[in-house]
Amino acid sequence: MAPSRMNLIPIESIDDPRVSDYANLRDVELLQRAEMGLETSGENVPGDAPVHWRARENGGSAHRGLFMGEGELVVRRMIDSPFEVRSVFLTPTRLKSIGDALERLAPCVPVYVAAPRVLSAVVGFNIHRGILACGVRGEGTSVGRLLDRDGPLLVLEDLFNHDNIGSIFRNAAALAGTRAGVVLTEKCADPLYRKCIRVSVGNVLSIPFARVESVEALSRARGGAGAPAGGWELWALSPRGDAEPLRVAVEEVARARRAGTARRVALMLGSEGPGLSESAMACADRLVRIPMRRSHENVDSLNVAVAAAIALHELGSAMEVE
């Protein structure tokens, strides 16, 4: 048997500086929620949280240019993703189950091993599933690179709920695969936030995404309203009654692609509650909706992640047609 390439380092003290990247992650979460104006469930945001965790990068929270993933499946996907893994922090039990994936890391990447009580004390919570990994954000993908792809694209305007963003990335991976891309406006929550990655089951790490200042900026990047054939069409997904049924628009795209005309679609989805802004609507080439039975007077729209899944299912099939 070949010798292990893993750089195993035992950690016995919660104050060991080698695992400082993982320290007090719970405090960081609370700080981020306070910065976004969200409720903190009665918990106090620590005033002495490290300043370097407060930095903002491209409109999203940047952990000194780092991000965290938790759970064995997520860490496996981190290792196989384009993102650089800076280190891994895990319990002996998890070391046994994920050893095959850790062997694919460069020998210089430290793998810190600690008893469960030490790991939990360092990170500040107990739902880490016995393994975390620290990744490097890197330069990311530009909007221009996403516009060079065939799509489909999802454009998220001011979504702040981590569960919704994580679910949208998971839906994109399941229903459009690596052809999909995601554009997020500056006010959107950070897709590399630990909870987003967890909810996406690591698919945030495989679906390319980019930040843009606003939908208007994206519209200018793709050539403005009424972009020429072969360019990107911006569709606004809205429950408004004057919007055309999504399937009608999708069938038109499928017919055009069968006829050899390139039709690429970027689908805009608005924030939880208010939906798309009027300025975003004004940039749209088409206004589309998912028809609902409206059998209950209290249901006037779909959850944004559910709407994204339905739209991707329809649009993904149409854009595969050549």
pLDDT confidence of residue 229: 40
Q: Where are the domains of the chain?
A: 7-136, 143-320
Give the type of residue at 101.
Answer: A
pLDDT band at 115 (very low <50, low <70, confident <90, very high): very high
Q: Which of 2-6, 38-42, 72-76, 140-144 has the lowest mean pLDDT?
A: 38-42
User: What is the three-class DSSP state of 46?
Assistant: coil
Q: 131-179 pLDDT, tens per residue? A: 999 999 988 889 989 988 887 899 999 999 999 999 999 999 999 988 8
pLDDT over 50 at 50, yes or no: no
pLDDT beyond 80 at 307: yes
pLDDT of residue 224: 53
Is the confidence at residue 317, as pLDDT, over 90? no
Q: Can you give the pLDDT at residue 244?
A: 93
pLDDT band at 110 (very low <50, low <70, confident <90, very high): very high
Query: Does residue 59 carry a pLDDT above 50?
Result: no
Whether 82 shows a pLDDT value over 90: the answer reads yes
Three-point CA angle 317, 188, 69, nearest 5°: 80
Fold exhibited by the domain 143-320: Alpha/beta knot (3.40.1280)
In the chain, the amino acid numbered 266 is A
Instruction: For Cα atoms 280, 39, 48, give the angle at the middle one, nearest 5 degrees.
Output: 110
Of 168, 146, 150, 149, residue with least CA distance to 159: 168
Say whether 143-320 and 7-136 share the same fold: no
Give 61's DSSP letter.
E
Cβ(143)–Cβ(50) under 8 Å? no
Query: pTM of the prediction?
Result: 0.84
Helices (H) and strands (E) in the chain, counts: 11, 14
pLDDT at 43 exceeding the cut of 50: no
Residue pair 91/128 in contact (Cβ under 8 Å)? The answer is no
> Are β-strands 153-156 and 131-136 bridged in parallel, bridged antiparallel, or unpaired?
unpaired
Low-confidence winner among 43-57, 98-112, 185-199 (lowest mean pLDDT):
43-57
DSSP at 198: H
Identity at 163, one-letter amino acid code? D
272-299 average pLDDT score: 84
- Give the span between the Cα atoms of 143 and 210, in whole angstroms: 6
- How high is the mean pLDDT of the chain? 83
Q: Are 68 and 25 in contact (CB under 8 A)?
A: yes
**For 205-255, what is each residue's pLDDT tens digit?**
999 999 999 999 998 887 655 444 447 889 999 988 788 999 999 998 888
Distances (CA, A) of 90 to 48, 71, 113: 27, 10, 5
- Which residues touch 193 (CB under 8 Å, ≥6 apart)? 32, 60, 61, 67, 162
For 7-136, which CATH superfamily applies?
Ribosomal protein L30/S12 (3.30.1330.30)
Alpha-carbon torsion angle 56, 87, 198, 101, nearest 10: 150
- Segment of 3-7, 40-44, 174-178 carrying the highest mean pLDDT: 174-178
What's the pLDDT at 45? 33
